[in-house]
Amino acid sequence: MTHLWVRHEQRPHEERVGLTPEGAARLIAKGFRITVEESPTRCILTAAYANAGAEIAPAESWPDAPADAIVFGLKELPEDGTPLRHRHILFGHAYKGQPAGQVLLARFRAGGGVLYDLESLVDETGRRVAAFGYWAGYAGAAVALKCWAAQGRGTICGPLAPYAGRDALLADLRAEVTGDPRALVIGAKGRVGTGAADLCEAMGLSVTRWDIEETASGGPFPEVLAHELFFNCILARPGAPVFVPESALLKTRALRVIGDIACDPTSDFSPIKVYDRVTDWTAPALRVATDPVLDVTAIDNLPSLLPVESSQDYAAQLLPSLMALDALDAGVWGRAKAEFDRH
């Protein structure tokens, strides 16, 4: 019997989950055993999983799960250095040379476990089967607007907290945001860019949508500096154009807030060269210039701002793959295992 163990997320400000009670019920109907850890923070109540037929375990008890259980979470495991003996499904961020990723892989090597990285769950064409991208874009644009509103008050954006839903977020923004900043979204045809543009349009802002065609020249791109808000929604990779060079800080510009939703400032290929570290929920904005003001916001778990919508959307995308967990050597799981073995 395939045993899926859904763990409580131990990272602060993380309320999302990759399986809904409805999805759990479908897996149980197929013959899977489902265990869900109790969680004081998960956006979906534990009781709903119990009502769907799942077994309930104490929070953070996954290290003692049966050896054949597949442990499923979204964000990183506690960095305690312990060997990992289970098969784990999570966002490992371990295959691009990240220092923390190398430590994670060493823990799997030491314990004999396997990482099925959610970033490596791809179809036959190499496209991710499930992604939080849309909600990362939507929430990232919302945080950037909060930064803009704070500038208007002569302050810097303060701590964030999750919203009960999209309507609550929009109501808060409408009460807070004044003026009509123009927004430029690069990567507008992708999931992330679509989400960012949709938030801006829901707020009645003028949005310029750019994608590969508009950036094919390689730059420079003075249009970026002519918009008050700029959203980078493309991944850092070799050959990526630089959209905001260091020299932008010295030039006349309308630009006041950069939402680096792709959020990879330490990469050599980052297209945003005016900052060097991520921001977080406690301090969402990094002020990189004062005359005139320029803030950068770059948070790596943005969809948690809207945990219910983002969880429901992601879980629906992922469920068909979870239904195939009883055939781990084939399809998306076989490809993810091959990627793990390669690294």
Tell the residue number behind the tokens 């990526």, with chain if given: 240
| φ, ψ of residue 246 in degrees (nearest 5) | -55, -35
Angle, CA of 153, 177 and 256, to the nearest 5°? 65
Contact present, 304 and 15 (Cβ < 8 Å): yes
- Among 13, 75, 227, 337, which one carries the catalytic annotation? 75
Token pair, residue 279, equals: 């921001």
Residue 339's H or E segment, with its range, is helix 331-342
| φ, ψ of residue 269 in degrees (nearest 5) | -100, 10
Tell the residue number behind the tokens 């295992």, with chain if given: 337
- Among 3, 93, 189, 343, which one carries the catalytic annotation? 93
Contact present, 241 and 161 (Cβ < 8 Å): no
Residue 13 catalytic? Answer: no
Contact present, 109 and 84 (Cβ < 8 Å): no
Burial of 109 (0-12, 13-18, 19+ CB in 10 A): exposed
Residue 146 catalytic? Answer: no
Q: How far apart are CA 97 and CA 180, in angstroms?
A: 41
DSSP class of 128: B
Among 142, 206, 144, 205, residue whose Cα is nearest residue 173: 142
Indicate the length of the chain as a whole number.
343
Contact present, 110 and 45 (Cβ < 8 Å): no
Q: How far apart are CA 128 and CA 14, in angstroms?
A: 22
* Positions marked active-site: 75, 93
